[in-house]
Chains A and B, each alone.
Chain A
Amino acid sequence: MLLPWLALLCLSLHVLAAKDSAREQLVQLASKNNGVVRLDEKTYDLLTSPDRDWSAAVHLTALDKRRRCNPCREFDPSWNAVAKAWSTVPRSERDNHFFATLDFDEAPTVFQKLGLASAPVVYVYPAAEGPRRPASGKLAPYKYDFSHGFDAEPLASELSRHTPVPIPYKAPVDWAKWGTFAVILVSGIITLRFISPVLQSRWTWAIGTILTSLVMQSGYMFTRIRGMPYTAGNGQWIAPGFQNQYGQETQVVAMIYGLLAISFLMLTVVAPLQKSPQRQRMQIYLWTAVNLIIFSVLVSLFRTKNRGYPFKLFL
């Protein structure tokens, strides 16, 4: 008659054992592949089992070449970096949170189950039981928002709000960059004494200034900040819309501005130095013509950007 009690006891023990074994398994998997659990259907269910008392961050991706998922490949390293950083946490804390990666080609069914059409996606599953069960009782996985880009810092800082302790992630020191920088610095200092006449000549600076102003005025910063492509895929190089432009536009417009500026320069500075009346006259007419034509080109370009601009010059 003691049997039922025993049975019960065993059962409960067994349950506990099962859970622990699951945890052990995951820990091993994680340690095998430095800090990241490579998932398939089975291990996925294991990881996200409804009675889990650990939290997990799952990274669903498609790294295979055939999938042509560039963002996946772009994001993968920073994910691994963060996971690696987590594996440096003392064991007691580390085993309460797991980093896992699930590749589409290894477990397509999971993607179907989650109804995912795009990758990469990062889900964070809160602990369903135990002390770290969220107070709000919401067990639905939290979806990471890629609006901050694919860098590691935002990822780490974001995930740290779900891990037992903040992820001790540090951006790796880019030795290459520093090295090149140092080299350049040294070489610069060395060459300084040789190129100092160049640096002291006003015209170097003049050219620098002019170029800056030209490039800036033709919307270089816009393309930089917005990360605009050089041209549209279909070879069209003028971006539609007034508040929008492609990389090539910057160059063309800068060129146009430059030409016009040069035409003025020629007229004002160079032409007067010309000694023979005929040549001078020719020059003057030439540059005036250039000025007019290029300007009308510019205006027509502007009209393509801003429909409803009423004015036009020749073309």
Chain B
Amino acid sequence: MILRCQLAFFVSLFAANLAWAGHSFENTAIVRTVELGGASVHVTTAFAVKALEPKSSVYTIALSKNEHQKTSWLEVRQKGQQAVLPLQPVLLDAANDAYIYKVEFSKPLAMNESVNLILDTVQTHATFPWPEQAGQTDDQALKYETDLYVLSPYKTAVQRTKVRALSPRILSYTTPEGIEFTTENPVTKSGATVTYGPYHNIPESSSAEFVTKHQKHVTVHYNHDFPLAEITTLKRAAEISHWGANLNIQDEIVLHNAGPTLKGHFSRLQFQSSTFYNRASPTVLNWFTLHLPAGIKNVYYYDQIGNVSTSRLRAAPSVPKSLSGNSNQYSIMEVRPRYPLLGGWNYTFTLGWDAPLSDSTSFDSKTGKYIVGVPVMTVMPDAVVDDAEVKIILPEGATDIEFFPPFPAKNNTISTHISYLDTVGRPALTFHYEHLTDKHNGIIYVTYKVPFSAHLRKPLAVATGLIGLFVLSMGWRRVDVRLDTKQKL
């Protein structure tokens, strides 16, 4: 918190040069679409931008403070283009306390030229269960809160916000009062969609006085029929073995059902009858599936007290790396906790597997380097990883190591990891992440050299050990320790 204040203080200097930003563009239309989900909410905002000055190439996007806190992933594209536009680091406009992102167009716009920007964001922990307690078979209702107006340092001709739920059962939504930007009713509901707006001729909405004057909070209260799985911590260890031509990946997962906490007690009778009539209640997380890479062997799934016998794997054959680029076939792991997870219950487990090294590694003969790719995480559908630690253990004696994570980690360290019959230990890279969503399933690439001597080190060490043993025993057999050599035992 303190740190943020300081940041605010420093960054407030920039307030000046934001002042003129207001005139270089105007938004002909802003459409924000909120896809209500469980733990994560996808928000897509489309800006139709018109340049008011020639050679204007830097567009500014603003997020309010709490919006910024929720947002765990964000990217901007021009409509119709795949390429992601570069984003300048976030600044805090202290005067209006809004977070500012600067987008640079691929080519500067001419006067009155217009372009469509798509801002994709994923918000985590944006929803919360309401009521906070629910019985075993009750429904699960969530609340989502957001600002009515999209912030922008430019004038906006027309703006609307669509909030779309998965099921049409929307329990309630706020109807904003006293809106002078529209004549007809400010909010309409059709099916599973609640639409705010359209609102016309909105001034620079990121300015403090606008926020204080016009900005409103709207809340949507809706039914969600899927359990809120939440991975509190994820520890992934990937160990590379060249001798075994094997990449072992092991995830230690702490699972939490973030739905409404269970009211009263769990009744097996109810649970069994409801599964029998398969009316699975939305708050119960009974099982879920994970998409593991193809061609994996001896998968293990256990917790602190041994194997979890209730889980199934449908393994797919290995895919050569050449066409693994478009590999859309997976081994499907059906993970079933020991007991059904009701609201507020926890479960920890460890999931690991061996994959052929060739599927994820290649040798660059020019540089004499190995390149290995390790996925950051195995995506669990509609679940948020609060805190992830990825550890990549390279073979013993690996030198000049470089790594390229898909997106910057909170921090990363290099340590030494000692495992089976190591003599000097293996270099290990550790990456820390927070609030990972299904958008974050990138691959960490690591390159390293392994000299031939390093390959030989282990067998030599073992051999010497054994020979030493033999020599000792030979010596012992030949030594006579009897005091009285005459007497024969």
The answer to whether A and B touch directly, with their CB atoms under 8 angstroms apart, is no
Interface residues of B (CB under 8 A from A): none
Q: Which residues of A contact B (CB under 8 A)?
A: none
